[in-house]
Structure 1
């Protein structure tokens, strides 16, 4: 019985790692598409092309009984997701990616606070220590990779518009994650993925028509890449939802930060983004230490 309980405790961690690795695949395809298409159609494609797989997964496991208030929460989750994603794209457009990511990851701390306040999640002292250590690892990794001073991301909040967009993206992503968890609690991990992103794709499509109509005729040419991105996105979201249902959302998002060193590896292997190992290994080690503390906290 003790062994079964241990497996259940650690399943959230395994789902979180798998979700993060799928996000690496999603972001890699999205980056590839970004060279040919603009940000609006790429974001809409990420939302829309995951729907077939989410529908198939929901149909295979069986459609759940929906709890009261589900549709309102699903719409709010979609709206928050769209706003957060567009703010992040603006941050990347106006600022350096390394500094943007360092600021954006503040959402993990915000998520811990909001999760306790609104979903009555339990964050232990050791768990919060793991979150903060892993967050510092991400911070150090990004500032060292870009050869910045440790104070640069903080100072840039005052100087640069892009960094303020990054902070707003972090502030809006935290409630997005909690709303995704709430919809999963009111239905299941599969159906909530389907409806949340159905709403998100509907909310985003008018922006595509207004800003990216010239690219719509290119969709058939890139359909394979869009479907691959949708497959990664659907799998990542479903696995993340399964993690949320088994642990505090902040724990799941903290573990998913392993996506960052994995993304660096993909950049080196497939996009020729060579990084000096000595510049990034301290941040990676501290990040892994934070994840180990989180595992022990579970």
Structure 2
């Protein structure tokens, strides 16, 4: 069982990183709302199939309450994520997305009584730290430059909010899964997220609707990998503590850095190697605990 959740978590990370890279390569749009929505929309057919063909688990009231709380939070996180990218450089905002596993050690304990071991907790912190270092694209300004900018930079504050929201929705998602089933949750929850996020897109200008029609075919492959990320995520998270699973899933930052070097000629590879080593040490502490 241990090997299975590790494999599923890493596959989820790989699928997410691949979806991100394919999205960046295929779309290259300035409107992040379109990018976020198209990937969800193109994953939708696969998730609907799960909903239709998976056994109906007769979910209880806890499942519906979890979805009722979780779906609006997911939409808010998407909107804040887009705002963060629009207001601030990625080098300042993305490092804070790596903090989610550290926050989950608190939310998982409060909401589900999940307590990580000392060794596992250190592993989670190291993965968060490694992910933070991986996402700093301008090391000349110093490792703490994003933190020094929190007070003056609204985009950073939005991204911290996103990281906090994900620390809640990850736990809420597990609660919903335990009160239904992984496949049913994958379909119902993310269909709900996509449908609720659609008005945000469709109420935009006509130009945005035109862009959607032009780019929808190129979004199919990123959508397939995004659907695979969701499916592997929901199974992995039921097999271990949320903090451990999300920490391993954040190795998508490492995989994304490899894609960035291979396909987008991104720089600072030597500096990011430090983050990769720190992240790998955290991975070993969690997996070998």
The TM-score normalised by the length of structure 2 is 0.92
**Given the superposition, is the C-alpha separation of residues 195 and 58 from structure 1 closer, same or farther in structure 2, using an over 3 Å criterion?**
closer
Paired residues in the alignment total 289
Residue matched to 1:296: 288
What CA distance in whole angstroms lies between the structure 1 residues aligned with 2:82 and 2:33?
A: 9
Pairwise CA distance, 1:58: 4.2
2:27–2:218 Cα contact (<8 Å) kept = no
Pairwise CA distance, 1:61: 4.2
**Given the superposition, is the C-alpha separation of residues 45 and 143 from structure 1 closer, same or farther in structure 2, using an over 3 Å criterion?**
closer
What CA distance in whole angstroms lies between the structure 2 residues aligned with 1:166 and 1:191?
A: 30
What CA distance in whole angstroms lies between the structure 1 residues aligned with 2:265 and 2:34?
A: 25
2:48–2:191 Cα contact (<8 Å) kept = no
Residue matched to 2:277: 285
How large is the Cα RMSD of the aligned pairs? 1.9
Unmatched segments (≥5 aa) in structure 2:
none
What CA distance in whole angstroms lies between the structure 2 residues aligned with 1:254 and 1:114?
A: 14
Unmatched segments (≥5 aa) in structure 1:
1-7
- 1:37-116 counterparts in 2 under 5 A? 38-116=31-109
- Aligned residue for 1:62, secondary structure, equals coil
What CA distance in whole angstroms lies between the structure 2 residues aligned with 1:144 and 1:211?
A: 32
**Given the superposition, is the C-alpha separation of residues 172 and 205 from structure 1 closer, same or farther in structure 2, using an over 3 Å criterion?**
same
2:57–2:181 Cα contact (<8 Å) kept = yes
The TM-score normalised by the length of structure 1 is 0.90
What CA distance in whole angstroms lies between the structure 2 residues aligned with 1:213 and 1:71?
A: 35
Picking from 155, 159, 162, the partner of 2:152 is: 159
Residue matched to 1:3: none
Residue matched to 1:234: 227
- Aligned residue for 1:159, secondary structure, equals coil
Larger CA deviation: 96-105 vs 60-69: 60-69
What CA distance in whole angstroms lies between the structure 2 residues aligned with 1:286 and 1:37?
A: 32
- Structure 1 residues 203-230: Cα deviation after superposition (integer angstroms, max 9, x where no partner): 2122112224423234443232222222
2:50–2:186 Cα contact (<8 Å) kept = no
- 1:198 and 2:174 matched: no
Larger CA deviation: 244-253 vs 213-222: 213-222
- 1:17-56 counterparts in 2 under 5 A? 17-32=10-25, 34-36=27-29, 38-56=31-49
What CA distance in whole angstroms lies between the structure 2 residues aligned with 1:22 and 1:237?
A: 9
2:19–2:223 Cα contact (<8 Å) kept = yes
- Aligned residue for 1:35, secondary structure, equals coil
**Given the superposition, is the C-alpha separation of residues 19 and 186 from structure 1 closer, same or farther in structure 2, using an over 3 Å criterion?**
same
**Given the superposition, is the C-alpha separation of residues 44 and 142 from structure 1 closer, same or farther in structure 2, using an over 3 Å criterion?**
closer
2:123–2:284 Cα contact (<8 Å) kept = yes
What CA distance in whole angstroms lies between the structure 1 residues aligned with 2:25 and 2:69?
A: 30
What CA distance in whole angstroms lies between the structure 1 residues aligned with 2:190 and 2:173?
A: 10
What CA distance in whole angstroms lies between the structure 2 residues aligned with 1:191 and 1:75?
A: 15
- Structure 1 residues 51-94: Cα deviation after superposition (integer angstroms, max 9, x where no partner): 21112234444333323332232232221111112111211222
